[in-house]
Amino acid sequence: MKFGIFYEISVPRPWSRETEKRVFDNCLEQVALADELGFDSVWCVEHHFLEEYSHCSAPEIFLTACAMKTKKMRIGHGIVICVPEFNHPIKIAERTATMDIISGGRLEVGTGRSATWNELGGFRANPDETKKTWDEFVRCLPKMWTQERFGYQGRSWSMPVRAIIPKPYQKPHPPLWVAVTSPGTEIDAAERGIGALGITFGSFKEQEQKVKVYHNLIKNCEPVGSFVNEQVSTVNFLFTHEDTEIGNKVGRRLLGTFNFLAAQLSAARELYPTRSYPSLGLLPALRDQAAGPGDEAGVPEGIAIGNPDRVLHACKMWESVGVDRINFLLNALETVPQEQVLNSLRVFAKYVMPHFQDSSTQAAAAGGGR
Amino acid sequence: MPRSGRMNVEAYAAQAAREIHGYKTEPWSLKGAQILNLHYEIDNDTIDDLLPVTMRPSIPAWGVFNVTRYPESPVGPFTIGEVRIGSRAGVRPRGFVLRSYVDSDAAVRELAQRWGYPTVRGEIYLRAFHDRVVARVADGSGRNVLDMEMIDREPISGADVQYNSSMHLARNQEDGKLVLVQVDPEWVFHKAERGRPHIISLDSQAWAAGNMLRADYPISATFCTCDVTLGRIRYICDPTKDAFQGTTKVAA
């Protein structure tokens, strides 16, 4: 089991230049500490127009700063939107290769297609087309990274033969992932031999089944890349504290705030009837997770909130259903003060990480961080 | 902090809200309804003023422009034209109904008294052609207040269509207090189509929205045939309070 941190970059109103800067600075401080503590990766979304919920519209720049602030952590571009109105595939290949070089070969490339009308409408993208363009992009990206010259005549995009440069530092190329939110995308991931990123299902039992399907199917995959990236990652919230009452109270506030914020956005399916979006996407999935039935402390099952024992139990449950890594969301609207976020990371590293054999974090965790 | 509604509910109620007679209506089963539903982005700067504080604007701001013909009902056939504001009550998606024009006096009365719909008498036109579906809503004097169409009809699955529950501001007959009534219809789809939405004209004032309602950007249109059940009222809200604090359960 590996642990990462995951950023939406949520900025509360009123927006001033100082508010925005403070939030970005806080995130970078958390990233630097997480690297010291032995967290495996930092992931960052690409979102546009999602007021307060996510101001992370230029993740490649934020992640480049993360790479500069860290030494060991993997840098997770999670996800880059593979829809031509948002990102031209050539630019994705060029940008990610550059990020891989600058990070010294630490880049992970998550792919996806956006699930909100805010974004699809804003870029005037056709919701019917996004699954198709995603598929085309992920088949092209590895070739663009690895072939000296690349040309393509496709459905949603084409180009004459050119040298797409630079090439990634990792050879043959960075690992590829796809955000799994719509039902069946875990099958898409398996069939293409790429990692399943951020699967959020209703129950552990359901999760176990989906992970099983993924691992079974990927054995006979037709990899889009030069290698198979067989990994399942999930998203969770994290707030832990030695004092149970503080852990539960602050953690519940984090859940509630995220829930409240996410609800205000407009899922593509809510506004645009299309078979392309059979579910409401990640936001309601996380929302349901956050609002699910809780234990006596009012914290939903499987959510990494509370004292270290409870958080350990939640992580062990996810491990038991075949999840390889958990990426944690640490804050929303700055509702958790920065010192408490940093302390929560330290507490997690000290009390929870050492219980996971495969965690790359044990050595650092023993040190307890700064 | 996240935005929420800031409507002057008394001022709105004075022009649009109707009186509801308790919260104990039996359900209505309405077979074979034809529903034309247009989604349009609306003016983001004014949407907060079109919602009570109980509700929060969706982001981006969008409205539902709806005309529904009910060929069968306990009060006979009727057609209704509505504008709803895309919004949230707590974390739940809802449409706040600004006004409901209805072409039957009996339906005007019953929909208001039973569910609190902000009904007013109007004349409604709904007709499907091969290339488009056309709807017009006129007020009691015959003046057009909404003229819209769905162009290029294309069959889809009803499973791809999502309608949201609605909320109406009404005055409770018993104590005279304003209340937000939630109505959760059930829909069984028999046929569904989508197409391009086009609002030809919209009279903001006629929808009790002052000059604040403006259809800015087309999103989608659907035309469906459904069996609709208007169920019992399950929840009401205090329109001066946040939904988390001001919601009351009135039926299971």
ipTM, two decimals: 0.93
Q: Does residue B99 belong to any structural domain of this protein? A: yes
Mark yes or no for CB contact B192/A273 under 8 Å. Answer: yes
User: What is the least distance, in Å, from the CA of B73 to any CA of chain A?
Assistant: 28
How do A150-153 and B178-183 pair as beta strands? unpaired
Q: Is the dihedral of CA B7, B8, B10, B14 positive or negative?
A: negative
Contacts of A333 in chain B (CB under 8 A): 1-2
What angle is formed at CA B230 by the lines to CA B228 and CA B231, rounded to 5 degrees? 125
Taking CA atoms, A45 is separated from A75, A80, A86, in Å, by 12, 7, 14
What CA–CA distance (Å, rounded) separates A291 from B149? 39
Mark yes or no for CB contact B219/A260 under 8 Å. Answer: no
B217 touches chain A (CB under 8 A): yes
CB A254 within 8 A of CB A237: yes
Q: Does residue B122 belong to any structural domain of this protein? A: yes
Reported as a single tens digit per residue, the pLDDT across A263-286 is 999 999 999 999 999 876 555 555
What is the pLDDT, as a whole number, of residue A210?
A: 85
Reference B59, options B74, B45, B80, B69; nearest CA is B45
Name the pLDDT band for A367 (thresholds 50, 70, 90). very low
Mark yes or no for CB contact A121/B41 under 8 Å. Answer: yes
- Of the candidates A52, A263, A273, the beta carbon closest to that of B161 is on A273
Contacts of B193 in chain A (CB under 8 A): none
Q: How many domains does chain B have?
A: 1
What is the pLDDT, as a whole number, of residue A285?
A: 55
Q: Inform me whether the pLDDT recorded for A51 exceeds 60.
A: yes
Tell me the residue type at B4: S
Q: Which of A50, A271, A276 is the best residue to mutate to test the B interface, defined by the most B CB atoms within 10 Å of its own CB?
A: A271
Mark yes or no for CB contact B88/A264 under 8 Å. Answer: yes
Mark yes or no for CB contact A287/B2 under 8 Å. Answer: no
Q: Does residue B182 belong to any structural domain of this protein? A: yes
Question: Residue A116 contacts by C-beta under 8 Å, 6 or more apart in sequence?
Answer: A47, A50, A265, A266, A267, A268, A281, A283
Reference A35, options A1, A4, A78; nearest CA is A4
Kind plus residue range of the DSSP H or E element containing A248: helix A244-263
Q: Give the tokens for residue A293.
A: 């039935």
Q: Which of A266, A274, A286 is the best residue to mutate to test the B interface, defined by the most B CB atoms within 10 Å of its own CB?
A: A266
User: What is the least distance, in Å, from the CA of A351 to any CA of chain B?
Assistant: 34
Q: Does residue B46 belong to any structural domain of this protein? A: yes
User: What is the least distance, in Å, from the CA of A75 to any CA of chain B?
Assistant: 30
Q: Give the tokens for residue B46.
A: 């004014």
Mark yes or no for CB contact A275/B156 under 8 Å. Answer: yes
Mark yes or no for CB contact B1/A333 under 8 Å. Answer: yes
Taking CA atoms, A58 is separated from A106, A238, A281, in Å, by 18, 24, 21
Q: Does residue B1 belong to any structural domain of this protein? A: no
Contacts of A266 in chain B (CB under 8 A): 58-60, 62, 86
Q: Inform me whether the pLDDT recorded for A306 exceeds 90.
A: yes
Mean pLDDT of A29-43: 98
Mean pLDDT of A78-90: 97
B1 touches chain A (CB under 8 A): yes
User: What is the least distance, in Å, from the CA of B228 to any CA of chain A?
Assistant: 19
Can you tell me whether residue B38 is helix, strand or coil? strand
Cβ within 8 Å of B, A 131-150: none
Q: Is the dihedral of CA B51, B93, A280, A202 positive or negative?
A: positive
Hey, how many other C-beta atoms are within 10 angstroms of the C-beta on A124? 8
What is the pLDDT, as a whole number, of residue A364?
A: 45
What CA–CA distance (Å, rounded) separates B119 from B28? 17
Q: Does residue B4 belong to any structural domain of this protein? A: no
Reported as a single tens digit per residue, the pLDDT across A317-338 is 999 988 999 999 999 999 999 9
What is the pLDDT, as a whole number, of residue A369?
A: 36
Mean pLDDT of A327-350: 97
Q: Does residue B120 belong to any structural domain of this protein? A: yes
CATH code at position B243 = 2.40.400.10
User: What is the least distance, in Å, from the CA of B119 to any CA of chain A?
Assistant: 25
Stronger pLDDT, A206 or B74, i.e. the higher one: B74
Reference A115, options A157, A83, A156, A155; nearest CA is A83
How many CA atoms lie within 13 Å of B197's alpha carbon, on the beta-carbon side? 24
Q: Which long-range contacts (CB under 8 A, 24 or more apart) does A153-158 make?
A: A156/A84, A156/A129, A156/A132, A157/A84, A157/A88, A157/A89, A157/A133
CB A27 within 8 A of CB A9: yes
> pLDDT per position in chain B (252 positions), as tens?
889 999 999 999 999 999 999 999 999 999 999 999 999 999 999 999 999 999 999 999 999 999 999 999 999 999 999 999 999 999 899 999 999 999 999 999 999 999 999 999 999 999 999 999 999 999 999 999 999 999 999 999 999 999 999 999 999 999 999 999 999 999 999 999 999 999 999 999 999 999 999 999 999 999 999 999 999 999 999 999 999 999 999 976
Identify the residue whose tokens are 């057009």.
B144
DSSP state of A355: G
pTM over 0.80? The answer is yes
Mark yes or no for CB contact A263/B91 under 8 Å. Answer: yes
What is the pLDDT, as a whole number, of residue A283?
A: 53
A365 touches chain B (CB under 8 A): no
Identify the residue whose tokens are 């006629």.
B206
Taking CA atoms, A319 is separated from A5, A204, A285, in Å, by 17, 10, 20
Contacts of B39 in chain A (CB under 8 A): 271-272
Q: Catalogue all structural domains in chain A, each as residue range(s) with its CATH number.
A: 2-367 (3.20.20.30)
Name the pLDDT band for A291 (thresholds 50, 70, 90). low
Q: Inform me whether the pLDDT recorded for A201 exceeds 50.
A: no
- Of the candidates B88, B162, B194, the beta carbon closest to that of A263 is on B88
Mean pLDDT of A45-50: 97
Reported as a single tens digit per residue, the pLDDT across B172-230 is 999 999 999 999 999 999 999 999 999 999 999 999 999 999 999 999 999 999 999 99
Q: Does residue B145 belong to any structural domain of this protein? A: yes
Quote the mean pLDDT of chain A: 91
Q: Inform me whether the pLDDT recorded for A359 exceeds 60.
A: no
Contacts of B41 in chain A (CB under 8 A): 121
Contacts of B88 in chain A (CB under 8 A): 263-264
CB A291 within 8 A of CB B238: no
Contacts of B92 in chain A (CB under 8 A): 263
Taking CA atoms, A240 is separated from A39, A367, B68, in Å, by 15, 18, 51
A351 touches chain B (CB under 8 A): no
Considering only CA atoms, give the Rg of chain B: 17
Taking CA atoms, A225 is separated from A141, A160, A172, A175, A179, in Å, by 8, 21, 9, 8, 16
Q: What is the domain extent for residue B78?
A: 9-249
**Phi/psi of residue A116, each to 5°?**
-115, 150
Cβ within 8 Å of B, A 277-296: 278, 287, 291
Reference B235, options B189, B156, B179, B178; nearest CA is B179
A111-120, A287-296, B86-95: least confidently modelled range:
A287-296
Contacts of A272 in chain B (CB under 8 A): 39, 219-220
